[in-house]
Amino acid sequence: MTACVHDHSRWGTADQIGAANYLTVEKRLAALRSVKQGKIYDVSHVISMNAPYMAPNQTPFLLSMWASWKESIKRRRKMGFTNDAGSNVDRLEMTTHVGTHIDALGHFSSGDKLYNGNCAEEVVSNWGLDRLGIEHAPPMISRGIMLDVSRFDGGEFLEPGRVVTPDDLQRACDEARVKIESGDIVMIRTGWGRFFGVDNARYLHGEPGIDVPAAHWLTDREVVAIGTDNMAVEVLPNPDAGKSLPVHQYTLAEAGTYLIENLALEELARDRVYEFCFILLATKYRGATGCPVRPIAVI
């Protein structure tokens, strides 16, 4: 492993938000003003104990009732209260890359370097990331684009290992009559989302997705984030058998571009909605490498 050396981003040595710098006020106002009907598309899945996860790097989503109404009422009665207010409080445990979620820039390293020349050895502690955690990701309100490549091979979804290329992205743009611009948030529909929570073994066993050239095509256009309806955004397994998750490595650790995974894009596709006001508000868990989110598309 080479020693960690500083190779900084275009936004300066202190930058922790990467491509979120493309989220200008103009972009935000334009997105908000594009809303005509006031209709909301929820592009997230419900997160339950049935959510797929990749062991051993991930653990199952667990939710249990920590304290519940009946005992709560008993305890309050003993304390002299008479209004029988019963509280239910659940406890939740998860690796943060569960369900529909966004990756923090510190989620991935290239060797011992994180985004913007940060040394993993210094930044990654047992209690989270000391820099580049999800709490630094600003609220995202910008133009969203949905590129529907799911039907390109004549079916309803692409097969695992199918690389989504720059040409595929261009073709989907053309069909949707959109052009990717700086500050956009781009979602790519592969059709793979139909197996989320339905056939988790299949969902996790390879997937269609972009490769590094398609990632470059997108980052060249200065997108803020790339989302998909599968677990990893990128094609699995990678066509280059010697590389593991190179798109994660390139986008997060080098380009500073966010990834949004496990999106639910079926309704947008059904209604052929390709352009919208996209809103994603990452919960500010200190030092987290990502977090479950509930992004929406508003038209």
In the list 6, 117, 174, 244, the residue contacting a second copy (rule: CB under 8 A) is 244
Instruction: Please choose, from the candidates 294, 259, 1, 281, the residue with its C-alpha nearest in 3D space to the C-alpha of residue 105.
Output: 259
**130 to 159, contacts with a second copy by CB under 8 A?**
135, 138-139, 141
205 is a contact residue toward a second copy (CB under 8 A): no
Q: What are phi and psi of 248, to 5 degrees?
A: -60, -45
Residue whose CB is less far from a second copy, 65 or 198: 65
Site string for a second copy, 155-194 (x = CB under 8 A): ----------------------------------------
- Candidate ranges 29-37, 170-178, 184-192, 213-221; the one touching a second copy (CB under 8 A): 29-37
In the list 8, 13, 29, 179, the residue contacting a second copy (rule: CB under 8 A) is 29
- Candidate ranges 53-61, 165-173, 184-192, 266-274; the one touching a second copy (CB under 8 A): 53-61
In the list 84, 167, 220, 271, the residue contacting a second copy (rule: CB under 8 A) is 84
Instruction: Please choose, from the candidates 141, 144, 146, 173, the residue with its C-alpha nearest in 3D space to the C-alpha of residue 274.
Output: 146
**92 to 111, contacts with a second copy by CB under 8 A?**
92-97, 99, 106-111
In the list 42, 159, 174, 199, the residue contacting a second copy (rule: CB under 8 A) is 42
Q: Which residues contact 40 (CB under 8 A, 6 or more apart)?
A: 296, 297, 298
In the list 1, 3, 5, 201, the residue contacting a second copy (rule: CB under 8 A) is 1
3-state helix/strand/coil string of 149-169: CCCCCCCCCCCCCCEECHHHH
Which residue type, as a one-letter code, is found at position 88?
N
Q: Which residues contact 129 (CB under 8 A, 6 or more apart)?
A: 104, 106, 123, 287, 288, 289
3 is a contact residue toward a second copy (CB under 8 A): no
In the list 73, 163, 173, 299, the residue contacting a second copy (rule: CB under 8 A) is 73
CA–CA distance from 175 to each of 94, 168, 225 (Å)?
39, 11, 21
What is the nearest approach in angstroms of a second copy to the Cβ of residue 156?
Answer: 25
What is the nearest approach in angstroms of a second copy to the Cβ of residue 214?
Answer: 17
What is the nearest approach in angstroms of a second copy to the Cβ of residue 153?
Answer: 28
Angle at 188 between CA 185 and CA 193, to 5 degrees: 125
In the list 125, 154, 201, 270, the residue contacting a second copy (rule: CB under 8 A) is 125
In the list 3, 10, 12, 56, the residue contacting a second copy (rule: CB under 8 A) is 56
Q: How far apart are CA 175 and CA 103, in angstroms?
A: 29
87 is a contact residue toward a second copy (CB under 8 A): yes
Whether residue 61 contacts residue 53, with contact meaning beta carbons closer than 8 Å, is answered with yes
- Candidate ranges 61-69, 160-168, 182-190, 265-273; the one touching a second copy (CB under 8 A): 61-69
Starting at the edge strand found earlier in the chain, the sheet holding 296-298 runs 40-42, 296-298, 275-280, 140-148, 185-189, 225-228, 258-261, 101-103, 290-292
Residue that the structure tokens 């959510």 belong to: 51
Q: Number of residues interacting with a second copy: please give it, by CB under 8 A.
A: 105
